[in-house]
């Protein structure tokens, strides 16, 4: 309902407006905006015009504005009005008839001389009479709103499931998820992703946030297709960025269930997300417990492609084999040749095998519909590359284990083509929508603060020859930018845990050994510390550590092998990425397999140089891209090892210590 309530309320109070001293000046502008609204079929345009009307009244005649808001609330409450024959909102036909009557009467009073302006293809007026500047401050304010969501916890197979979503000024006690959030005035896109359900209504609708009123609810209808546990993802988008995702668990039964409302998790929405340039492309991948995967590709608040597929087998075996193969390729062999005592592979053979792994991910994970869309539209980002620019791609998923950056698209059809890995074609980043063992979701930070830096550097690994240079790089950053040094005196388990529990750092950089435990049910990897101790990923838990991560939202770089890699465990939350990002870290970089320590140092050196360039500071994804390229070798996959979890267009704000 993109603004219809505002137009109906304006029609209802129209007769009272003539008593306003400002009415002669308001009349032509309001009539013009109403005409634009009725001539436009585009939902976003109609919503913006309705916002222009409310802002025009607020700025010009606050008394009329209050009458409009009061009437709109009354109509939502189902109250009657003498202009319309029905209670509450009139039908489209009745509303059109009411405006035709108003126009006829105004023409008889004022003639046809009322300014109507010019109408563009988008329905927005241009020209001398258009009043194009009425709404220029429309996007600036921020407002606290409360989620008002209803959804059943259980449903019968083949029955209709209704999900309603609204944002209200005051908490609604009957809401199953009443969370206070901050949003900008204007449009918030709400999208439903529901694997295992058939959509009976559009999956994407618009909520209008107004400064002095609740939003009208948007209603989604779904049909339950399969029995078993499911999850419905409710996404909130503003200005092209995915700012929050709520996951509603729902169980579909064979028999009619006793009604129970869904427990929808808290939804932290970052108001600053709308301040950052959105990614050129955002791919949301939602995988439910039954292995169903939904892929939704977005650009500029528009859904470009939607596709579903069910994995025949869990991806764990494929991913473990892929990482093992990459580990072998670093040493010049592969799983086929190692067992036969063959000679080392040539650089060309290693490079070909690395490409084949990227093809395998494209073949097995990407659904056919998305492949077709990708092939049809790829000329856009390829043209940008040819012009010296590069698009950004953010993959947001509810699982941390699939290395989406390694996907290498290709087609063997009539128009044969292939691209580089996604992390090379795009300024690429990933994000984890939520921890597998927690209902709460987090969003990436659009701006990363660098004021306090903590370097964790064990000194008991002399075989890591490049570690002293990388440590010096961090000390130089602290001195050059007058940062507060929160590094522990020694990188022992006790000091590192104390650092994590107290927080107080914006940036954590760890340089050490890492290891991966493929069969552990408790933790998936560990990092080496002083005194020959190892800190497991499962240690990143408990109230103090998670609260510190949630409150400070630090950036974290783990420059150690294997630590970015995930392994399913009993809790489903064993890895460093899940523990840090899922608990609130604003950015994280970690390698997925073994890395050469000289390459690791070079990677850090180029990354920080690009990120903190005084003339043209790079975004985190651009700095990541430059660092990858700096260590790229045709016969070594190390350059592909690093994984970035962040908003691709996030930048760093250096805040030096005040003297």
The answer, yes or no, to whether residue 286 has pLDDT greater than 90, is: no
For β-strands 555-559 and 507-511, DSSP reports them as parallel
- pLDDT, tens digit, 9 for 90 and up, residues 593-638: 778 888 899 999 999 999 999 999 999 999 999 999 999 988 788 8
309 occurs within a structural domain: no
369 occurs within a structural domain: yes
Predicted local distance difference test score (pLDDT) of residue 627: 96
CA atoms of 293 and 306, how far apart (whole Å): 11
596 occurs within a structural domain: yes
Confidence class for position 261, pLDDT limits 50, 70, 90: very low
Q: Averaging pLDDT over each range in 237-246, 271-280, 325-334, 646-655, which range is the top one?
A: 646-655
Burial 116-133 (b: 16+ CB within 10 A, else e): bbebeeebbbeeeebbee
Residues 167, 37 within the same domain: no
- pLDDT, tens digit, 9 for 90 and up, residues 569-589: 323 334 788 889 988 899 999
The residue-averaged pLDDT of 198-224 equals 89
User: Which two three-digit tokens encode residue 133?
Assistant: 């500047």
Domain containing 389 equals 316-428
- pLDDT, tens digit, 9 for 90 and up, residues 531-550: 888 888 888 888 899 899 98
- pLDDT, tens digit, 9 for 90 and up, residues 500-511: 999 889 999 999
> What's the number of domains the chain is made of?
4
Residues 44, 9 within the same domain: yes
DSSP label at residue 277: P
Domain of residue 560, CATH code: 3.40.50.1460
The answer, yes or no, to whether residue 40 has pLDDT greater than 90, is: no
659 occurs within a structural domain: no
135 occurs within a structural domain: no
The answer, yes or no, to whether residue 36 has pLDDT greater than 50, is: yes
Q: Comparing 206-210, 385-389, 493-497, which segment has the lowest mean pLDDT?
A: 206-210
The residue-averaged pLDDT of 341-346 equals 74
Predicted local distance difference test score (pLDDT) of residue 368: 92
Residues 478, 585 within the same domain: yes
Using alpha carbons, list the distances in angstroms from residue 568 to 312, 526, 572. 18, 15, 5
Where among 99, 126, 153 does a domain terminate?
126
The DSSP H or E segment spanning 376 is: helix 368-386
DSSP string across 41-75: --HHHHHHHHHHHHHHHHHH-HHHHHHHHHHHHHH
User: Which two three-digit tokens encode residue 635?
Assistant: 């016969």
Residues 497, 629 within the same domain: yes
Query: How many other β-carbons are positioned within 10 Å of the β-carbon of residue 77?
Result: 9
Where among 428, 453, 482 does a domain terminate?
428
Strands annotated E in 239-271: 241-253
Query: How many other β-carbons are positioned within 10 Å of the β-carbon of residue 439?
Result: 16
CA atoms of 85 and 95, how far apart (whole Å): 10
The answer, yes or no, to whether residue 122 has pLDDT greater than 70, is: no
Residues 460, 381 within the same domain: no
Tokens 């209902």 — which residue?
439
Predicted local distance difference test score (pLDDT) of residue 106: 75
Helices (H) and strands (E) in the chain, counts: 16, 30
Q: 373 vs 519, which has greater pLDDT?
A: 373
Strands annotated E in 585-645: 587-591, 642-645
Residues 533, 586 within the same domain: yes
Q: 574 vs 383, which has greater pLDDT?
A: 383
Residues 444, 560 within the same domain: yes
Residues 509, 594 within the same domain: yes
CA atoms of 564 and 544, how far apart (whole Å): 23
305 occurs within a structural domain: no
Residues 523, 621 within the same domain: yes
Provide the phi-psi class of 515: left if phi over 0, else alpha when psi is between -120 and 50, else beta: beta
Query: How many other β-carbons are positioned within 10 Å of the β-carbon of residue 27?
Result: 19
- Give me the residues paired with residue 281 across strands: 393
Q: Which of 519, 585, 599, 505 lies closest to 546 in space, CA to CA?
A: 585
Q: Is the dihedral angle over the CA atoms 274, 276, 280, 285 positive or is it negative?
A: negative
Confidence class for position 520, pLDDT limits 50, 70, 90: very low
pTM above 0.75, yes or no: no
Query: Which positions ≥6 away from 543 have C-beta within 8 Å?
Result: none
DSSP label at residue 215: P
CA atoms of 451 and 657, how far apart (whole Å): 7
User: Which two three-digit tokens encode residue 187?
Assistant: 């449009």
CA atoms of 156 and 161, how far apart (whole Å): 9
Query: Angle at Cα 294 formed by Cα 432 and Cα 374, nearest 5°?
Result: 95
Counting every residue written for the chain, the total comes to 659
Residues 460, 574 within the same domain: yes
289 occurs within a structural domain: no
The answer to whether the beta carbons of residues 350 and 636 sit under 8 Å apart is yes
Domain of residue 189, CATH code: 2.60.40.10
The residue-averaged pLDDT of 73-77 equals 79
Query: How many other β-carbons are positioned within 10 Å of the β-carbon of residue 287?
Result: 20
- pLDDT, tens digit, 9 for 90 and up, residues 425-484: 999 999 998 877 776 778 888 899 999 999 999 988 878 788 899 999 999 999 999 999
The answer to whether the beta carbons of residues 216 and 9 sit under 8 Å apart is no
The residue-averaged pLDDT of 644-652 equals 95
Q: What is the mean pLDDT of the chain?
A: 82
Residues 12, 96 within the same domain: yes
User: Which two three-digit tokens encode residue 284?
Assistant: 């949301």
- pLDDT, tens digit, 9 for 90 and up, residues 91-108: 877 888 888 888 877 777
The answer to whether the beta carbons of residues 506 and 469 sit under 8 Å apart is no
CA atoms of 93 and 100, how far apart (whole Å): 11
334 occurs within a structural domain: yes
CA atoms of 117 and 144, how far apart (whole Å): 36
Where among 71, 101, 126 does a domain terminate?
126
**For the CA atoms of 442, 566, 449, 656, what is the dihedral angle to 10 degrees?**
160
Residues 264, 189 within the same domain: yes
CA atoms of 419 and 358, how far apart (whole Å): 10
User: Which two three-digit tokens encode residue 202?
Assistant: 């559009």
The answer to whether the beta carbons of residues 411 and 417 sit under 8 Å apart is yes
Predicted local distance difference test score (pLDDT) of residue 538: 82
Strands annotated E in 288-373: 292-299, 302-310
For β-strands 484-485 and 452-456, DSSP reports them as parallel
């Amino acid at each position: 309902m993109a603004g219809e309530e505002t137009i109906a309320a304006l029609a209802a109070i129209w007769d009272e407006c003539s008593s306003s001293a400002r009415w002669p000046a308001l009349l032509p502008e309001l009539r013009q905006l109403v005409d634009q609204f009725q001539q436009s079929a585009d939902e976003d345009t109609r919503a913006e015009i309705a916002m222009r009307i409310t802002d025009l009244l607020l700025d010009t005649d606050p008394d009329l504005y209050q009458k409009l808001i009061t009437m709109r609330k009354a109509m939502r409450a189902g109250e009657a009005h003498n202009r319309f024959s029905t209670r509450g909102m009139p039908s489209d036909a009745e509303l059109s008839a009411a405006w035709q009557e108003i126009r006829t009467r105004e023409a008889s009073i004022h003639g046809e001389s009322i300014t109507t302006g010019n109408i563009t293809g988008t329905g927005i007026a241009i020209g001398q009479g258009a009043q194009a500047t009425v709404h220029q401050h429309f996007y600036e304010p921020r407002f606290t709103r409360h989620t008002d969501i209803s959804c059943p916890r259980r449903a019968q197979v083949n029955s209709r499931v209704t999900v309603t979503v609204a944002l209200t000024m005051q908490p609604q006690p009957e809401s199953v998820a009443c969370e206070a959030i901050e949003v900008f005035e204007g449009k918030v896109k709400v999208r439903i992703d529901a694997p295992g359900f058939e959509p009976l209504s559009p999956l994407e609708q618009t909520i209008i946030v107004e400064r002095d009123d609740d939003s009208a609810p948007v209603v989604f209808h779904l049909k339950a297709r399969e029995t078993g546990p499911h999850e419905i993802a409710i996404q909130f988008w503003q200005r092209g960025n995915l700012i929050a995702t709520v996951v509603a668990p729902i169980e579909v039964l064979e028999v009619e269930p006793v009604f129970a409302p869904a427990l929808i998790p808290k939804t932290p929405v970052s108001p600053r997300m709308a301040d950052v340039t959105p990614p050129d492309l955002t791919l949301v991948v939602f995988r439910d417990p039954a292995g169903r995967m939904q892929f939704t590709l977005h650009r500029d608040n528009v859904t470009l492609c939607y596709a579903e597929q069910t994995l025949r087998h869990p991806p764990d075996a494929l991913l473990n084999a892929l990482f093992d193969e990459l580990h072998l390729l670093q040493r010049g062999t592969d799983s086929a040749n190692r067992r036969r005592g063959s000679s080392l592979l040539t650089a060309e053979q290693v490079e070909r095998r690395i490409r084949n792994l990227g093809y395998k991910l494209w073949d097995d994970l990407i659904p056919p519909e998305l492949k077709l869309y990708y092939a049809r539209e790829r000329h856009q980002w390829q043209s940008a590359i040819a012009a010296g620019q590069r698009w950004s791609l953010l993959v947001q998923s509810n699982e941390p284990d699939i290395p989406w950056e390694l996907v290498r698209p290709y087609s063997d059809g009539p128009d044969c083509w292939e691209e580089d890995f996604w992390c090379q074609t795009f300024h690429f980043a990933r994000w984890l929508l939520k921890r597998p063992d927690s209902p709460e979701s987090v969003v990436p930070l659009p701006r990363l603060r660098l004021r306090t830096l903590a370097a964790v550097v064990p000194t008991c690994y002399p075989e890591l020859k490049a570690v002293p240079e990388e440590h010096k790089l961090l000390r130089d950053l602290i001195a050059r930018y007058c940062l507060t040094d929160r590094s522990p005196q020694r990188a022992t388990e006790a000091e590192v845990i104390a650092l994590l529990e107290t927080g107080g750092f914006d940036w954590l950089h760890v340089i050490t050994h890492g290891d991966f435990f493929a069969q552990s049910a408790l933790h998936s990897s560990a990092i080496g510390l002083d005194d020959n101790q190892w800190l497991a990923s499962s240690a990143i838990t408990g109230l103090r550590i998670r609260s510190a991560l949630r409150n400070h939202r630090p950036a974290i770089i783990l420059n150690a092998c294997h630590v970015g890699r995930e392994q399913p465990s009993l809790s489903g939350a064993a890895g460093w990425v899940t523990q840090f990002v899922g608990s609130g870290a604003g950015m994280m970089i970690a390698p997925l397999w073994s890395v050469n320590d000289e390459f690791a140092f070079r990677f850090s050196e180029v990354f920080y140089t690009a990120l903190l360039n005084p003339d043209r500071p790079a975004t985190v994804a651009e700095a990541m891209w430059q660092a990858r390229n700096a260590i790229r070798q045709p016969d070594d996959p190390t350059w592909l090892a690093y994984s970035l979890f962040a908003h691709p267009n996030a930048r760093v704000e250096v805040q030096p210590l005040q003297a």
